[in-house]
Amino acid sequence: MSVHLVTSSYNAIGVLDLQGGVCEHVDHLQRLDLPYQRVKQSEDFDHLAGLIIPGGESTCLGRLLHIFGLKDVILRHHHRGMKIWGTCAGAILLADKIVGEAPCLSLIDMEIERNSFGSQLDSFKTEGIMEAVSDQPIPLTFIRAPKIHSVGNHVNVLLRMDDYIAAAENAGVLVTVFHPELTGCLELHRYFALKCGLVGAGTTSSAVNPNWNHSSWMKLARIAS
């Protein structure tokens, strides 16, 4: 299904293309027939309704934002209305409180702690119900994931698990500590597209495509290299 846009010159979703799971997010946006932009420099932001900051290594991503002068660019475009979604490391960059270190973008009122589950060997998969996102269980992949310990009054909790928060949002920011892009599920990408004002984003697609496999985004990685 083609995407219909609200009346606006901001008509694409960008994926920050500095480090981390870029191709995986691009694959999901393509499957939803959404216009997208790999974002490397300031002019790449000009037509973005939303920006995805992918999972990766948050310290590395923060340094690259500084090196390429993109931190202030992101803040400026967010101020004019660009929505932002941070997955895992991206969520860490968006938090205004990080246990044991200084924040980076400080765009959502929450406290987050990196690597809260332990080492790479403690990564795991499970499922969760996010009523605001889908009426079906959503597959969740946690890889050296952070935990959101608390959120402020103007932040909506989308998914709470055990003693931590796994997904939350405010008016302009969405954060998930897991990796929707590493599953066949499209629901979080569809939800973010709607948050950005893009409608009709693959609304007939099921929550999880049983025919999806990792080769779909691996081919994008080969093209990018």
Per-residue pLDDT of the chain (225 residues; tens, 9 = 90+): 333 334 468 899 999 999 988 999 999 999 999 999 999 999 999 999 999 999 988 999 999 999 999 999 999 999 999 999 999 999 999 999 999 999 999 999 999 998 766 556 567 899 999 999 999 999 999 988 899 999 999 999 999 999 999 999 999 999 999 999 999 999 999 999 999 999 765 544 445 555 556 555 455 554 454
Catalytically annotated residue among 24, 25, 78, 88: 88
Catalytically annotated residue among 24, 113, 169, 181: 181
Catalytic (active site) residue 88: yes
What is the spatial distance between Cα 126 and Cα 86, in angstroms, rounded to a whole number?
A: 20
Catalytically annotated residue among 104, 179, 185, 189: 179
Catalytic (active site) residue 111: no
The CA dihedral of 204, 209, 215, 220, to the nearest 10 degrees, is 30
| Residue 10 CB neighbours (<10 A) | 21
What is the spatial distance between Cα 14 and Cα 26, in angstroms, rounded to a whole number?
A: 9
Please name the amino acid found at residue 148. Answer: I
Which domains are present in the chain? 4-224 (3.40.50.880)
Does residue 62 sit in helix, strand or coil?
Answer: helix
Catalytic (active site) residue 28: no
